[in-house]
Structure 1
């Protein structure tokens, strides 16, 4: 047997272990359905290096692992969506098509490259009704899973998914879904991350044309304060903070997305 020979089975196992260790070093990301769409929540102290982004009108992207690797995948997905939407029709761009594209790319890198991508991604598409929503989870080797309800990836994903399973229920409001996500991402007895270290976005089926919207600043603070039991006012006190502008915005709030028709390239909040 040649010196330095490694069986294909052992090589694949080594690659898989390498990729899993790299993904586990990061913080978990949670994606879950709520009554009006799909919610993305990720602990992220960076304001420039996004884990959550828009791909197309109804499609969002979330990732964990090495930033340069999943950023290359995200940009490739945007190019694919733009070309197909322009050449054929915008309705021809689907999360399923993007998931197939990513699966082929990840699978090819895993089998042909000496170093696999240390990434795990979710591609989600919001439909006209909750039963039409699509959430696809892709792992480093190109495997695809069609998820329903919620998904947690990266970090201690199994523990986060277990906590989220206890809190999740169908038809939750946005406030309830955000509270469930933050509760799942927080270790028992630990403190929830501050708003400044959270990246939160939604695919909101009630919005016109472009469904993706980032939740930041005062709007996110109001949603968290309303959903947190610690912030619930005692009986007989004033009513809880008004969150009617959490999604639609108010005159003093900055816009949550880029101007109509532009693609969110992740370069801004």
Structure 2
């Protein structure tokens, strides 16, 4: 008679966490950072169809790394959560904090109750009236939530990307320079990686816009901003935001 196979709960949780981390690290990174007029999202993502960055609600956006079908499922849940709460109560009652709590519950349940955890990491961000009231929440595969300030990196070779962000990030950067900082950080995933506009997915939550504050940047605009960032250099200021609001 064979002995039953036993794994301690601690070992089972550790194995699931290791599995999820490996899956997330195999992808390409995403960075989220505050800039003068709001919050910038930059993904190393050549796909025009499979978005890593999406709008959730009026002032709220979502960025993710890992398994596309799993984070797309979470994105759709988030949109439904926002629509139902905004309809039943008030649009102002839909917040990044509330959404982050809902995601934390969903991810935590999957992690503890399912054999296979979600291989995802997500950021939920809400742009405020000024930089001090912006909110950026990072959620990991087990439902842990971190309240981030300034910038966050997820996925891929995340340590190198986060280190590069730390070195170059400053508060109140204009859009072009903030994008330059984000792209430089993403390029640290590989020694000789150079990212062109067509390989990037970029979006902003722009607090100066009316109504919909989320905006995707087309490749031509990304290219223009990267050229402005290069001309400005690390020490210079860029005029890259002028005329943006009408686009």
Task: Report TM bin, short chain.
Answer: over 0.9
Per the alignment, residue 164 of structure 1 pairs with 165
Per the alignment, residue 35 of structure 2 pairs with 34
Please give the per-residue CA displacement for 1:49-103, whole angstroms capped at 9, x wherever unaligned.
0000000000000000000000000000000000110111100000000000000
Per the alignment, residue 127 of structure 1 pairs with 128
8 Å Cα contact 1:219/1:247 also seen in 2: no
Note the C-alpha offset of 1:146. Answer: 0.2
8 Å Cα contact 1:222/1:243 also seen in 2: no
1:142 maps to 2:140: no
- Specify every segment of 5 or more residues in structure 1 that has no aligned partner in the other structure, as ranges: 233-239, 250-269
- How many residue pairs were aligned? 241
| Residues 103 and 2 of structure 1: CA distance in aligned 2, closer, same or farther (over 3 Å) | farther
8 Å Cα contact 2:176/2:241 also seen in 1: no
**What are the within-5 Å matches in structure 2 for residues 1-269 of structure 1?**
2-187=3-188, 190-229=192-231, 244-249=242-247
After TM superposition, the score normalised by the length of structure 2 is 0.93
Note the C-alpha offset of 1:176. Answer: 1.0
Please give the per-residue CA displacement for 1:94-129, whole angstroms capped at 9, x wherever unaligned.
000000000000000000000000000000000001
Distance 2:153 2:50 in 1: 20
Cα root mean square deviation, aligned: 1.8
Note the C-alpha offset of 1:244. Answer: 3.5
Distance 1:223 1:102 in 2: 33
8 Å Cα contact 1:55/1:61 also seen in 2: yes
After TM superposition, the score normalised by the length of structure 1 is 0.86
Distance 1:149 1:223 in 2: 20
- Specify every segment of 5 or more residues in structure 2 that has no aligned partner in the other structure, as ranges: none
